[in-house]
Amino acid sequence: MKNVYFDHDGNVDDLVSLLLLLQMPDVHLTGVGVIDADGYIEPAVDASRKIISKFGRHSNVRVAASNSRAVHQFPKEWRLSSFSFDAFPILNEHGSDKAPIADKPAHLDMIDKIQREDEKTTLVMTGPLTDLARALEVDPTIVDKIERLYWMGGTMRTQGNVLEPKHDGSAEWNAYWDPYAVKTVWDSRIKMQMVGLESTNQVPLNADVQQHWANLRRYPMMDLIGQGYALVSSYEANSTYYLWDVLTAVASQYPEIVQTKDVKGDVIVNGPSAGKTYESQNGRPINLVTEVKAKKFFDKIDALLTREA
What does residue 121 show for φ and ψ, rounded to 5 degrees? Answer: -115, 140
**Is 0.75 topped by the overall pTM?**
yes
The set of residues, in sequence order, having a beta carbon less than 8 Å from that of 123 and lying 6+ positions away, is 4, 5, 7, 110, 132, 146, 148, 149, 150, 190
Summarize the confidence of residues 130-147 as an average pLDDT: 98
Domain borders along the chain are: 2-203+242-290
Name the pLDDT band for 130 (thresholds 50, 70, 90). very high
Q: Which amino acid is at 41?
A: I
Which whole number is the average pLDDT over 141-169?
Answer: 96
Please name every residue paired with 288 in a beta bridge, in sequence order, or none if there are none.
Answer: 194, 261
Q: Which of 115, 96, 118 is nearest to 104 (CA)?
A: 115
Q: What percent of the chain has pLDDT over 70?
A: 97
CATH of 2-203+242-290, one of 3.40.190.290, 3.20.10.10, 3.40.50.1370, 3.90.245.10: 3.90.245.10
Rg of the chain, C-alpha, whole Å: 18
Closest by alpha carbon to 221, among 70, 23, 12? 23
**pLDDT digits 0-9 by tens, 182-224:** 999 999 999 999 999 999 999 999 999 999 999 999 999 999 9
* Residues 260-284: tens digit of each pLDDT: 999 999 999 999 999 999 999 999 9
In tens, the pLDDT along 72-126 reads 999 999 999 999 999 999 999 877 689 999 999 999 999 999 999 999 999 999 9
Q: What percentage of the chain exceeds 90 in pLDDT?
A: 93
